[in-house]
Amino acid sequence: MEARLNTFATPTGAKFGKYLIAAGRVLREAGVPVATLHLVEIRASQINGCGFCLDMHTKDATAAGETAERLNMVAAWREAACYTEAERAALELTEAGTRLADGTGVADEVWDAAAKHFDEDQLATLVAQIALINAFNRGNVMVKQPAGDYVPGQFDDAE
Report the predicted TM-score, pTM, of the whole model to 2 decimal places: 0.94
**Pairwise CA distance, residues 24 & 40, whole Å:** 12
Q: What CATH number has the domain spanning 12-141?
A: 1.20.1290.10
DSSP line for the chain = ---S--GGGSHHHHHHHHHHHHHHHHHHTSSS-HHHHHHHHHHHHHHHT-HHHHHHHHHHHHHTT--HHHHHTGGGGGG-TTS-HHHHHHHHHHHHHH-GGGS----HHHHHHHHTTS-HHHHHHHHHHHHHHHHHHHHHHHHT---S---TTTTTT--
pLDDT at 103: 86
How far apart CA 95 and CA 44 sit, in angstroms, is 7
Most distant CA pair in the chain, distance: 46
- What confidence score (pLDDT) does residue 158 get? 60
The pLDDT score that the predictor gives to residue 20 is: 94
User: What pLDDT is recorded for position 109?
Assistant: 97
Q: What is the mean pLDDT of each run of 10 residues along the chain (159 residues)?
A: 90 94 93 97 98 96 96 97 98 97 92 98 98 97 93 75
Picking from 58, 56, 110, the residue whose alpha carbon sits closest to that of residue 88 is 110
Domains of the chain: which residue ranges?
Answer: 12-141
